[in-house]
Structure 1
Amino acid sequence: MPGVFPREHVVLHDGGMRGVRPRSLGGRLGAVLPGCHDVDGVAEAVFAAVGAHVPFAFACLATMDPSSGLIARAFKSRPLAVGDEEFAAAEYGGPDVNQFADIAGRRAPVGVLSVDTDGRPERCRRFRDFLQPHFGFSDELRLVCRARGVSWGALALYRGAGDVPFTAREARELSDVHELLALSLQRVLFAASPPTTGSATGAAVIIVDDRDRVSDMTAAADEQIVDLGGWDGESLPSNVLAVVARARTSGQPATTRVLGRSGRWSSLRAIALDGGPTPTRSVVVTIEEAPRSAVGRMTLAARGLTAREQDVAVMVLKGASTKVIASALHLSPHTVQDHLKAVFRKLGVSSRREMIARLVLDDSRPTRA
């Protein structure tokens, strides 16, 4: 599509061979992603590779907390003039077209706004109130990066005014690589590295007003915010905005976990004030070191363990016998043993002792992202 997409926004050719695609998108990503050692590197590689196959005007790759489904960190192909407050409100507010939670449940976890609205993207609140008036975007393609039934990230592509809409073929091309992207995000988030535990500043508390601005915060909060991604002008990081929006619109406490720049996992818990869901009330956010058990479960999920296999593994880490595990989980001892065999196979160990050593001394050590 020469002449449609600005050269500085997207890669359209390789090595001067305009229009030549030497490999599939999966092959291109498979060649570059193993060399990426953090999420920034993965994002840069994804934007370049995807842009050669599915041109875009703007893109955003995000990691997700697999348990809450909330955005953890967002990486953009270029800076935008406004913060993420309205995005968070739209994504975690009322039902809308092609929200990530909806796409994650599809057999092929992909959605094209122009296709899914029959050519009427204004039927999407997110597009009508945010994407089109603020940025002039004309279409959106969203992909959830899912592996073994767990969502680890998401990719969103946008086209601008005058650009042709995304096609079903382009959606299928991206859908074919969703698991590859998910596994790459898992790898860089949970690769072994020297353990980083504790916080230099301790727990922090932030009060976020009805405009998503900080109205008050404790002394430790600024350092925590920087670790979670940093200020974007006056805007809080996308992970804080996401948990605030979820708490505000649901009327219930919301919790998520985020791997910070320091290599520490933080737990974010948001509680809206005054009770009852409403889009215009303040929210209290507590940021503290994530419990080791919560990080451990994410590590197990990243290793491909099912929810039941995680239950068994956690009880083994607590020293429970097969009989105790069977009673607690309402399983037969034979079924517990079957789960343990699967756990051993996925972790590459042959005994409980090796499994404990692997999980405690190796796999629970996060890397920097």
Structure 2
Amino acid sequence: MKVTTRRPLDEILVRELAPDADRNDVADAVYAVIRQRVPFDFACLATTDPATGLVTWASKTRDLGVGDEEFSAQEYGPPDVNRFVEIAQRAVPVGVLSVDTDGHPERCRRHREFNHLRFGFTDEIRVVFRSRGVAWGAIGLYRGPGDPPFTAKDGAEVVALEVVVAEALQRSMFRPGARQVLRSGGEGPAVLIIDAQDRVTQLTPAAADAIEQLGGYDHGSPPANILAVVAHTRTSGAPTDSRTQVGHGWWLSLRAAPLSGPPGGNDVVVTIEPTPHTDLSRLTLAAHGLTTREEDVTLLVLQGASTRAIATSLHLSPHTVQDHLKKIFGKLGVNSRRDLAALLTGG
């Protein structure tokens, strides 16, 4: 008797994804593949800054008619069940709300005060997409009225996509030929002030241009990447930094800081500027699948170190350094140290 086995979802997704897929293509493929095994009413896939875990871009299966200020306040506010930052630390980065609350999703503040109250959602699966221990994105899946709760098996189906999606998001950020800096928008610095209701109250001309590049206003709300750094700063009381890719491989760095003022003011200032190549170098290397040792070798090459100097610094033989360089050139698609430096520094 022939036994038919179902193909794992990650194998199906690999076949669906083109090597040069952009982040919108990745999101659409992920939604379609998940639906084959785990039906859902609504889904949102986001990219995240590997250094901070903050949302930098988001895709949704449909428009919910609101901006992301409430989501940001819930996600980056006080502790709650299955926050993405906590899921990212798990050995298996998945959370099924109905399972993790023993059938009482109302124990989750985010569900009780936002997802169920505003949209009628009844359950949630959350997965963080990691590669080599670094988070590159996340997804939330939701069921509506009359739908059965998600199961632990449903969560296992979705989290099986962890590495495939993480690597696809990496490739979308660092596609060959993409320029990895951002042009300056407008004249002067890009600075804006966000009030306690997440409204932009003041901004420079350059900030207005930067907001458009970051995704533009969503139902009157600033882009999700700005709201993320603002909400995190409000909770922590300290400055928050994030990096996000905008169109055509350009990158922006966002920094939010609390403003002093009248009690209860809660205003936050956000500065936006082009991301320096030096800040993106190690991120670029990780995105191309370099090992930690290969990253170390590459960064020394960028400092102008010779093969012998690299060998001495890393306690390797010159022959081993050369082997590492061959692998590095192959992964980054370059043929020389000069090409490597040009790729990573814009020279």
TM normalised by structure 1 equals 0.83
Please give the secondary structure, in 1, of the residue aligned with 2:90: coil
Task: Please point out which of 287, 297, 300 is paired with 2:272.
Answer: 287
Please tell me whether residue 52 in structure 1 is matched to residue 36 in structure 2: yes
> For the Cα contact (< 8 Å) 1:34–1:184, is it kept in 2?
no
User: How far 1:314 sits from its partner (Å)?
Assistant: 2.1
The CA deviation string for residues 347-369 of structure 1, in whole angstroms up to 9 with x for no partner, is 4279x9824523523x678xxxx
How far apart in 2 are the matches of 1:349 and 1:127? 43
Task: Please point out which of 140, 144, 154 is paired with 1:160.
Answer: 144
1:222 matched to which residue of 2? 208
Please give the secondary structure, in 2, of the residue aligned with 1:199: coil
Summarize the Cα distance change of 1:338–1:129 in structure 2 as closer, same or farther, 3 Å threshold: farther
Please give the secondary structure, in 1, of the residue aligned with 2:229: helix
Summarize the Cα distance change of 1:325–1:88 in structure 2 as closer, same or farther, 3 Å threshold: farther
CA RMSD of the aligned region, Å? 2.8
Q: Which runs of 5+ in 2 are unaligned?
A: none
How far apart in 1 are the matches of 2:314 and 2:259? 45
Please give the secondary structure, in 2, of the residue aligned with 1:141: strand
1:14 matched to which residue of 2? none
Name segments (4+ residues, structure 1) moved above 4 Å.
306-309, 321-327, 335-344
TM normalised by structure 2 equals 0.88
User: How far 1:45 sits from its partner (Å)?
Assistant: 1.4
User: How far 1:261 sits from its partner (Å)?
Assistant: 2.3
User: How far 1:80 sits from its partner (Å)?
Assistant: 0.7
Q: Which runs of 5+ in 1 are unaligned?
A: 1-20
Task: Please point out which of 296, 318, 326 is paired with 2:303.
Answer: 318
> For the Cα contact (< 8 Å) 2:329–2:336, is it kept in 1?
no
Name whichever of 200-209 and 84-93 sits farther off. 200-209
1:85 matched to which residue of 2? 69
The number of aligned residues is 338
Alignment of 1:236-255 (within 5 A): 236-255=222-241
The CA deviation string for residues 82-140 of structure 1, in whole angstroms up to 9 with x for no partner, is 11111111111121111111111111111101111111111111111111111111111
1:263 matched to which residue of 2? 249
1:37 matched to which residue of 2? 21
How far apart in 2 are the matches of 1:122 and 1:364? 50
The CA deviation string for residues 211-249 of structure 1, in whole angstroms up to 9 with x for no partner, is 111010001112211111111021111100001111111
Alignment of 1:1-369 (within 5 A): 23-34=7-18, 37-195=21-179, 197-201=182-186, 203-274=189-260, 281-306=266-291, 309-321=294-306, 333-334=315-316, 341-342=323-324, 344-348=326-330, 354-358=336-340, 360-361=342-343
How far apart in 2 are the matches of 1:64 and 1:356? 31
Summarize the Cα distance change of 1:272–1:325 in structure 2 as closer, same or farther, 3 Å threshold: farther
Name whichever of 333-342 and 218-227 sits farther off. 333-342
1:5 matched to which residue of 2? none
User: How far 1:201 sits from its partner (Å)?
Assistant: 2.0
> For the Cα contact (< 8 Å) 2:174–2:249, is it kept in 1?
no
User: How far 1:269 sits from its partner (Å)?
Assistant: 0.5
> For the Cα contact (< 8 Å) 2:278–2:345, is it kept in 1?
no
How far apart in 2 are the matches of 1:31 and 1:145? 18
Alignment-mate amino acid for residue 65 of structure 1: D
Alignment-mate amino acid for residue 168 of structure 2: S
> For the Cα contact (< 8 Å) 1:271–1:283, is it kept in 2?
yes
User: How far 1:319 sits from its partner (Å)?
Assistant: 1.3
> For the Cα contact (< 8 Å) 1:36–1:42, is it kept in 2?
no
